[in-house]
Amino acid sequence: MSNDVLEIEVRAVFPTSGGCAVFLGNDEKVFIIYVDQSVGAAIMMFMRSTPKPRPQTHDLIADILLALGAKVERVIINDFSEGVYYARLIISAENELHERKIVELDARPSDSMAMAIQQHAPIYITRNVWDEVEDMSAVLRKAEEGGPENRTFGGPE
């Protein structure tokens, strides 16, 4: 991994009026990506290792990858344009001859984060996107310290 990316992690997920606010970052900075309710719920379930009565979409994809000898290697949030984040999902596959193949796919950051958490894969952000995002560490601290009244996030319109 080169120096033009930083490793980050999902720090918290809180419901919003239109979905969920996912707080990502490290000790230096935290930023928010707004996701729809279903993916936000999936991210929270994977973070908490919550058992599900039936497989969800992300579980199905993980099972397909496993059956094909593939896994999520890492996620890279690589662009931010007009209020929209973009990501690359990096998958590695090994066949029965132990030949390894790397596949890089364009994917929504929300789905990529869910799969990375589920499969214990790292999440990275490019330095140029990191430098562009607003630090929301104080907002996260306030939400964690307070009750539900401090956990209201507007989200995108």
Distance CA 78, CA 75 (A): 9
Domains of the chain: 5-150 (3.10.690.10)
Is 60 exceeded by the pLDDT of residue 2?
A: no
Can you tell me the mean pLDDT for 143-154? 63
pLDDT score, position 56: 87
* Tokens describing residue 134: 């607003």
Question: What are the phi and psi torsion angles at 10 (to 5°)?
Answer: -75, 120
Q: How confident is the model at residue 157 (pLDDT cuts 50, 70, 90)?
A: very low
For 85-143, how does the pLDDT look when each residue is reduced to its tens digit (9 = 90+)? 999 999 999 877 778 899 999 999 999 999 999 999 999 999 999 999 999 999 999 88
Can you tell me the mean pLDDT for 39-50? 93
For 57-76, how does the pLDDT look when each residue is reduced to its tens digit (9 = 90+)? 898 999 999 988 899 999 99
Q: Report the b/e string of 3-28 with b at 16+ CB within 10 A.
A: eebbebebbbbbbbeebbbbbbbeee
Distance CA 132, CA 6 (A): 13
Is 70 exceeded by the pLDDT of residue 34?
A: yes
pLDDT score, position 54: 87
pTM, entire model? 0.86
